[in-house]
C-alpha cells in the first residue's frame, strides 16, 4: 500500500525449484500496474502463478473479491472457506459494476 512491489518472476522460479506454490495478492496492483491495468503479473510478464487473489473494492469501485487458480484448489476453497460458505453472493448491481469497470 506504500508503493512497494517486487518482481514475482524470480520468486516463482524459487517456488518451482522447491515445490512451493506462489499465491499472489493483486489487490493493490489491479487497475494500477501494467499496460492494460492487469497488475504485477502483466507488468513483469509473469504467466504461471499458482493462485491469485484480488479485490473489487479498489480499482473496480465495487465490493467483494476473487481468487483464481486450478479448479481443484478453487473447489477446496468453496467447500471449506467460511467466507464462501456463509456469506451472501454478490448482488446483481455490484456484479454489473465489476463488469462495467472491466469494459472501461
Give per-residue pLDDT as tens, 59-70. Answer: 888 888 888 999
CB half-sphere exposure, 24, CA atoms < 13 A: 26
pTM for the full model? Answer: 0.74
- Residue 41 included in any domain: yes
pLDDT in tens, 76-87: 888 888 877 888
Task: Give the phi and the psi of residue 3 in degrees, each rounded to 5.
Answer: 95, 5
- Residue 80 included in any domain: yes
Question: Contact, 55 vs 29, CB < 8 A?
Answer: no
Q: What is the CATH number of the domain that holds 48?
A: 3.40.640.10
- Residue 25 included in any domain: yes
- Residue 2 included in any domain: no
Q: Which domain holds residue 55?
A: 8-103
- Residue 26 included in any domain: yes
Taking the C-alpha atoms of residue 43 and residue 37, their distance in angstroms, rounded to an integer, is 8
- Residue 91 included in any domain: yes
Query: How is residue 88 written as a grid cell?
Result: 451472501
Query: How is residue 63 written as a grid cell?
Result: 465490493
> How many domains does the structure of the chain reveal?
1
Amino acid at each position: 500500500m506504500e508503493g512497494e512491489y517486487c518482481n514475482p518472476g524470480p520468486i516463482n522460479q524459487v517456488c518451482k525449484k522447491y515445490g512451493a506454490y506462489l499465491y499472489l495478492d493483486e489487490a493493490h496492483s489491479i487497475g494500477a500496474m501494467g499496460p492494460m491495468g492487469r497488475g504485477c503479473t502483466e507488468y513483469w510478464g509473469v504467466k504461471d502463478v499458482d493462485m491469485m487473489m484480488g479485490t473489487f473494492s479498489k480499482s473496480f469501485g465495487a465490493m467483494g473479491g476473487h481468487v483464481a487458480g486450478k479448479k481443484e484448489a478453487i473447489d477446496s476453497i468453496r467447500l471449506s472457506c467460511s467466507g464462501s460458505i456463509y456469506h451472501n453472493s454478490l448482488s446483481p448491481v455490484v456484479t454489473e459494476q465489476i463488469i462495467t469497470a472491466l469494459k472501461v
